[in-house]
Amino acid sequence: MCGRYTLYHDEEDLTSLFELDAFPLVRRYNVAPTQVAPVVHAVGGTRERIDARWGLLPHWVKDPGTFKTLLFNARAETAAEKPSFRDAMKRSRCAVPASGFYEWAKRDGSKQPHHIVRRDGAPMILAGLYSLHREAGPTFTILTTSPNARVSELHDRMPVILPPEDLARWLDPEITDPTTLEELLRPVASDVIDVYPVGKAVGNARVDGPELVEPLR
């Protein structure tokens, strides 16, 4: 599961990683479902940054007001088969830029949030799917997979974190057979990430500031 994430890297880091001309950004420390955040997709041979609402609305939904399911995550193992995601797996894959993500672990009867980041300090590339709905506009979801050994101490799912060398393949609109991408949807190795506890204020989606990612003393 991935229900909160961060995006606070410098614009230059994101511009370079995603090979874009620019990456305008407002730093975020508590991105939550239903909020709008940037994603990157490919149109023809060109990558594009767009703002989208987190919570995929399938393009075939006639009345967005009647679709009550908040699809902020999709299981990577079954997304190609599910009606809500299978079209996007074929034709509308995207990358979700992130600096890290949060997971909560049960500790002594309460839930302790943790921030998970790349050990090398680089931004994360989360595998996502997007939909362009004629009324609601762009929306997206984050693909999840089984956890690596480190994240399994906190939760039974984690987002798919793509290495930079696999980004072009994931975004390639010419690839329409999801089975050829299955090897990309595995959990990242435990030694790629760092995990540390943070304060519980992150549980409130209205709170957003750099203090949320400070390690808990």
Kindly state the tokens that stand for 155. Answer: 């939760």
* Catalytic pick among 2, 165, 182, 183: 2
* Catalytic pick among 103, 182, 211, 214: 103
Say whether 94 is catalytic: no
Gap between the Cα atoms of 108 and 202, Å rounded = 19
Give the angle 82-88-94 at the CA atoms, nearest 5°: 130
The number of residues in the chain equals 217
Gap between the Cα atoms of 62 and 64, Å rounded = 6
* Helices assigned H by DSSP within the chain: 11-18, 86-91, 167-171
Strand partners, 114: 103, 197
Segments of the chain assigned E as strands = 5-7, 28-31, 36-43, 46-54, 73-75, 93-98, 100-107, 110-118, 124-133, 137-145, 158-159, 193-197
Gap between the Cα atoms of 144 and 3, Å rounded = 11
Catalytic residues: 2, 103
